[in-house]
Amino acid sequence: MIRRFALPRPSLRVRLTAWYLLTLTLILFLSGLTLYWQTQRSLRSQIDAALQLAAAQAAVNVDRENGRLAFQNAENFDTRAGRFSDDTMIFLLSPAGDVWGKFGYDSSLPPFPAVPGLQTARYGDDDWRVYVEPITDAEQTITGRLQVAQSLEPMAELLAALQIQLLWGLPLALALAGAGGYFLASRALAPIERITRTGQAIT
């Protein structure tokens, strides 16, 4: 005859603590996802605004020279452009996509696809946020394009650090909450357990 061994049923305090931890885990997980998403969205919005501002400032320094567009006051503009960000590139492109001028931290970086507006492009192992603004003449004919690009590597590093903090913080918070929940459950159930033991002793 095969004997079946039944596992002991967890005590009420253990079950209460388990349900408490399960609920808290779900709340913290959703809160962490929301925080990560909001941080990512906020950083992306700041980068987009900075790119558009850089393009507006660069457009002021563009003029026609020898039949094509060029940056005016190149030395002064190069100094100002370097203040935008340590990982920003500014390109002045022809309507066909040829480079007429560029400023930034990496002179070897080629221009990105000249798609008007904001986009995310990849170069090498890095993602870049790119903003392209057409330059038009009085007849609204496109005579060139300004392209401002910023590496997303700093943002990725910041988000990775936030992710690590969340991954470490969640287990620690659950461990502390579990210990505290078990202690409070023990205190709350102690009178009930005493009454139960008294009733069992009487019977």
Same domain for 69 and 91? yes
Note whether 142 and 76 are same-domain residues.
Answer: yes
13 within a domain of the structure (yes/no)? no
Residues 188 and 134 reside in one and the same domain: no
Which distant-in-sequence residues (6+ apart) come within 8 Å of 159 by Cβ? 36, 39, 40, 43
Phi, psi for 149 (deg, rounded to 5): -130, 140
159 and 143, same structural domain?
Answer: no
Res 166: pLDDT: 86
Q: What CA–CA distance (Å, rounded) separates 82 from 76?
A: 10
Q: Which domain holds residue 182?
A: 153-203
Calpha distance 50→52 (Å, rounded): 5
Q: Provide the residue count of the chain.
A: 203
Quick one: how far is CA 4 from the chain centroid?
Answer: 53
Using DSSP's 3-state secondary structure scheme, residue 54 falls into: helix
pTM over 0.95: no
Give the Cα separation of 188 and 190 in Å (integer): 6
Encode pLDDT of 46-80 as tens digits: 999 999 998 988 888 888 877 788 888 655 555 55
Is there a domain that residue 171 lies in? Answer: yes
Same-domain status, 85 and 159: no
36 in a structural domain: no
Q: How many domains does the chain have?
A: 2
- Closest by CA to 51, choosing from 131, 138, 107, is 131
**CA 42 from centroid of its chain's CA atoms:** 8
Contact 81, 53 (CB under 8 A): no
Mean pLDDT, 10 residues at a time, the chain of 203 residues: 57 70 83 92 94 89 81 61 69 89 81 90 89 87 90 92 88 75 64 60 61
3-state secondary structure of 29: helix
Domain match, 119 and 192 both: no
What are the two backbone dihedrals, phi and then psi, of residue 151, each rounded to the nearest 5 degrees?
-65, 140
Q: Are strands 88-93 and 99-104 parallel, antiparallel or unpaired?
A: antiparallel
Residues 119 and 178 reside in one and the same domain: no
